[in-house]
Amino acid sequence: MTNSAAFRESPYARARSESVTRRMDEAAREPKGINGLTNWYRAAWAAETPNRFHERGVEPASVLGSPALHGAFRAYLMGSPWQTDHDDSLDIDHREEVYIRPVHAALAEMSRTWPLSARYLFAIAWCGAEWQDVCLAWRMLPEVGHRFTYDALRHLWRMHERASSTL
């Protein structure tokens, strides 16, 4: 790096470092209460799930003429929750692999030790994070469902943050 390039970047180095630190601190702050955790979970799940399920055409191996699956949705269905990608643009300070779907990876990890909680959170995700509806469908009392949801989401958030920081 030439002296002029170093001189140009040095006034912004401290501001950039502070900005990166502030963003990382905000990302690592645990959401408060069940509403904060539910909003985090809804947004994180939506960010990892493809928007389109089908594309034009017919599935090649379909005898009945099923609609063709969209490529991103096919990769979502057939891929592993622990699928990683090496993308330096996601984190310029960490030059290693990152999970493509970190919430799915945390849920898969959770299913090893807490299978009921993982299944419950998966049901909540596919219901648009409406935990009250899942409680009714699973025949849980609202008080029990509230506590179970809160504890399961806190556990998932901590697993998600631990997986994000160690990978």
In a 13 Å sphere around the CA of 140, the CA atoms on its Cβ side amount to 16
On whether the pTM is more than 0.85, the answer is no
Residue 83 has pLDDT above 60, yes or no: yes
Q: Of residues 118 and 23, which shows the higher confidence score?
A: 118
Tell me, letter by letter, the H, E, C secondary structure of 92-105: CCCCCCEECCHHHH
Dihedral angle over CA of 136, 140, 142, 144, nearest 10:
-150
Q: What is the pLDDT of residues 7-25, one digit of tens each?
A: 555 666 776 667 666 666 6
**What pLDDT, on a 0 to 100 scale, did the predictor assign at position 20?**
64
CB–CB of 149/40 below 8 Å? Answer: no
Which residues touch 128 (CB under 8 Å, ≥6 apart)?
Answer: 42
